[in-house]
């Protein structure tokens, strides 16, 4: 890595070079998708035009305090990492882009670096060729070790090519996330789908359930070697939609029914982020329960919770099309908790604001009725309260649907339920 003064590097190129990080590297928008972790409970990070780290105690390992951001790299392409850093005394800082675990943290730059910091801002750059393709890689700074000197980071960016760009300039929606993307299509209508197991699906599927229509597309929410899918890339709708080993749920017939009904020039895309057994707090902004007991191994490793995972995929999707609505099924884990409905309302408000969606339709499905053997039908009182809290919210009824246990619907019930979601969405959007 080479360093030079902050003033010398204020503008390295007059043409537009986009920051590949989804967040504003100047921190003028706060934390966004940057994540941090420290073993020391009193360590603090403040985001206010820079990322300011207060380090209260030394640690055994440099990785005991980590600051990370997700980034996608393509094998053989040249990239440049740029950032400014200083400390309140002489110390070192480790930086790299790696494979984000959890099984390994292999360097994708082949140039992990330990850098000397002092009381003056320095600008560091690293130009490298990615050694492998990884859509779920992470930029990582290690601030642990035997120093308690505080650190400031600013103007962080990863750029394609050999020079730095502007850390607060990102590729506009519709321009394609990378050269392999097709161009933005206003007739590509995208729907966010999140919740827990009935959205994720529990019913087995066969190839007969494939839609076999290229107008039905799913964005991959994981990298799945067994399916040859890469996180953040689109694939023609074939089960599983959620994860690498999923089943059929509400969203399958929702997509199938919409594709069959919309005009031939309209395509349908789904952004799937559901975790069976998850608490609604898993999807709250700010990750109040982190990755959750259920979600620990089922959310890509570089996200601190479900909200940032959903938001990241949604922003990737907006580069290809227009988000037209949100479908949701969750509540079994939070049955009869009166604050549940307020948490759902806050999640939808934040999604609409962070994605600039306006009041797109929000559809929430009822839980399996007690008359069908459901454990949690009493929670439908809370579900049916959502339209009073959320503009353009609608409840999809579960009457007449059978279950296979006390929480989950049958294969046939999922088919009917998804069609009910599609009927309502078609009525509201088309």
Catalytic residues: 197, 405, 408
Contact 246, 411 (CB under 8 A): no
- R_g over Cα of the chain: 23
Torsion sign over Cα 249, 244, 426, 384: positive
**Which residues, in sequence order, are bridge partners of residue 81?**
126, 158
- Whole-number Å distance between alpha carbons of 80 and 413: 51
- Whole-number Å distance between alpha carbons of 259 and 53: 49
- Whole-number Å distance between alpha carbons of 241 and 235: 10
Residue 315 to residues 21, 82, 104, 207, 411: CA-CA distances in angstroms? 12, 23, 27, 30, 31
Nearest to residue 191, comparing CAs of 287, 274, 247, 283? 274
Sheet holding 2-5, edge to edge: 2-5, 122-129, 78-87, 151-160, 51-54, 44-47
- Whole-number Å distance between alpha carbons of 419 and 266: 18
Nearest to residue 84, comparing CAs of 26, 159, 32? 26
Six token digits for residue 301: 């490793």
């Amino acid at each position: 890595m080479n360093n030079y003064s902050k003033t010398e590097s204020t503008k390295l190129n007059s043409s537009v070079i986009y920051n590949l990080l989804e967040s504003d590297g100047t921190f003028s928008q706060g934390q966004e998708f940057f994540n941090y972790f420290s073993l020391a409970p009193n360590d603090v990070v403040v985001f206010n035009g820079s990322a300011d780290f207060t380090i209260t105690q030394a640690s055994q390992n440099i990785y005991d305090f980590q600051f990370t951001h997700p980034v996608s790299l393509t094998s053989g392409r040249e990239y440049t990492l740029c950032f400014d850093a200083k400390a309140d005394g002489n110390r070192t800082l480790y930086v790299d882009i790696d494979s984000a675990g959890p099984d390994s943290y292999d360097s994708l730059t082949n140039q992990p670096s330990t850098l000397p910091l002092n009381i003056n801002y320095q600008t560091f750059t690293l130009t490298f060729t990615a050694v492998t393709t990884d859509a779920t890689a992470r930029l990582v700074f290690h601030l642990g070790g035997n120093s308690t000197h505080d650190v400031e980071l600013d103007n962080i960016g990863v750029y394609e090519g050999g020079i730095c760009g502007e850390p607060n300039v990102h590729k506009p929606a519709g321009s394609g996330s990378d050269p392999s993307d097709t161009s933005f299509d206003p007739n590509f209508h995208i729907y966010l789908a999140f919740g827990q197991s009935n959205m994720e699906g529990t019913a087995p599927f066969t190839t007969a359930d494939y839609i076999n229509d290229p107008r039905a597309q799913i964005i991959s929410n994981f990298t799945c070697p067994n399916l040859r899918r890469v996180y953040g890339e689109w694939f023609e709708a074939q089960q599983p939609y959620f994860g690498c080993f999923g089943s059929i749920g509400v969203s399958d017939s929702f997509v199938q029914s919409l594709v069959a009904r919309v005009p031939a020039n309209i395509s349908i895309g789904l952004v799937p982020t559901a975790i069976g057994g998850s608490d609604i707090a898993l999807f709250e902004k700010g990750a109040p329960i982190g990755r959750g007991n259920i979600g620990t191994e089922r959310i890509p490793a570089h996200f601190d919770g479900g909200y940032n995972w959903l938001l990241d995929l949604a922003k990737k999707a907006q580069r290809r099309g227009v988000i037209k609505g949100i479908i949701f099924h969750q509540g079994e884990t939070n049955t009869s908790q009166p604050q549940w409905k307020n948490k759902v309302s806050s999640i939808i408000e934040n999604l609409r604001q962070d994605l600039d969606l306006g009041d797109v339709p929000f559809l929430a499905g009822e839980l399996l009725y007690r008359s069908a053997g459901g454990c949690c039908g009493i929670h439908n009182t809370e579900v049916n309260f959502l339209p009073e809290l959320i503009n353009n919210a609608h409840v999809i009824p579960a009457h007449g649907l059978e279950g296979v246990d006390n929480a989950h619907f049958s294969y046939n019930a999922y088919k009917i339920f998804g069609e009910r979601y599609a009927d309502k969405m078609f009525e509201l959007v088309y």
